[in-house]
């Protein structure tokens, strides 16, 4: 049991890392990765929703009628997103403001619904949780990496502290919209180069 759980967990970290291999959850990935901090905050919020929704979907998988399963999944996901929204509003208000409408939009993140449909709806609870944790951590890593590249080049800082010398001219292009698309495109290219499909 521990072995199969470990397998489901690790596949989310490399073989099926959401952002780079499955190419799911692009919208928040492009929008909130201006800085590492925002990227990781968004990743953690999504991870929480993923784990909880995977668990509940898996527990209810024999009760939910197949015909209305998508609607049921959406209600389950929306409930947990509302929880995250309220918690973040209470404890991390600054981050909540920075991420804006992308917190409620976790509801329509295809990664969360995709995992519910493709994995949690067919597998027992412990595997579904392992899958949720793995995918969530993988997603957070992806957002953090993209955020790090964009913050480094675009603002010359990492987690708010400067990395290059005082003479560094920030490459503002990277924190704007086009830089997001190109940064992610080039990172995908890099992933294709180093890893096998």
Partner 1 sequence: MADYFVLAISCIFVNNIVLAQFLGNCPFLGTSKKMETAVGMGMAVVFVLVMAGIITWITDTYLLKPLDIEFLRTLSFILVIASLVQFVEMFLKKSIPALYAGLGIFLPLITTNCAVMGVCLININEEYTFLQSLVAAFSYAVGFGLALVLFAGLRERIDIARVPKPLQDTSIGLVTAGMIALSFFAFKGMV
List contacts with partner 1 (CB under 8 A): 23-24, 26-28, 30-31, 70-71, 74-75, 78-79, 81-82, 85-86, 101, 104-105, 107-110, 113, 176-182, 184-186, 188-190, 192-193
Q: How does DSSP assign the chain, residue by residue? A: -HHHHHHHHHHTTTTT-IIIII---HHHHHHSTTSHHHHHHHHHHHHHHHHHHHHHHHHTTTTS-GGGHHHHHHHHHHHHHHHHHHHHHHH-HHHHHHHGGGTGGGGG-HHHHHHIIIIITTS-HHHHHHHHHHHHHHHHHHHHHHHHHHHHHHHSEETTEE-S-TT----GGGGSHHHHHHHHHHHHHHHHHHS--
- Cα separation of 107 and 113, whole Å? 8
Q: Which is nearer to partner 1, 54 or 109 (CB)?
A: 109
- Smallest distance from partner 1 to CB 44, Å: 18
- Smallest distance from partner 1 to CB 147, Å: 14
- Smallest distance from partner 1 to CB 167, Å: 26
- Smallest distance from partner 1 to CB 83, Å: 10
Q: Which is nearer to partner 1, 5 or 110 (CB)?
A: 110
Q: Which is nearer to partner 1, 110 or 158 (CB)?
A: 110
- Smallest distance from partner 1 to CB 115, Å: 13
Q: Which is nearer to partner 1, 120 or 127 (CB)?
A: 120
Q: Which is nearer to partner 1, 9 or 119 (CB)?
A: 119
């Amino acid at each position: 049991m521990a072995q199969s759980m470990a397998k489901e967990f690790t596949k989310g970290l490399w073989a099926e890392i959401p952002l780079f291999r499955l190419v799911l959850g692009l919208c928040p990935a492009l929008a909130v990765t201006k800085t590492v901090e925002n990227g990781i905050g968004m990743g953690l919020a999504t991870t929480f929703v993923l784990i909880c929704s995977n668990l509940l979907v898996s527990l209810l998988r024999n009760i939910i009628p197949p015909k209305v399963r998508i609607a049921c999944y959406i209600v389950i996901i929306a409930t947990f997103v509302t929880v995250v929204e309220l918690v973040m509003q209470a404890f991390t208000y600054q981050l909540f403001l920075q991420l804006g409408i992308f917190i409620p939009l976790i509801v329509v993140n295809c990664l969360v619904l995709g995992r519910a449909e493709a994995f949690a709806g067919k597998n027992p609870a412990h595997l579904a949780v392992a899958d949720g944790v793995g995918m969530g951590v993988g997603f957070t890593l992806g957002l953090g990496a993209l955020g790090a590249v964009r913050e480094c080049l675009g603002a010359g800082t990492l987690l708010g502290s400067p990395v290059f010398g005082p003479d560094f001219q920030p490459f503002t292009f990277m924190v704007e919209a086009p830089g997001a698309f190109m940064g992610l495109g080039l990172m995908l290219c890099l992933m294709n180069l180093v890893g096998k499909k």
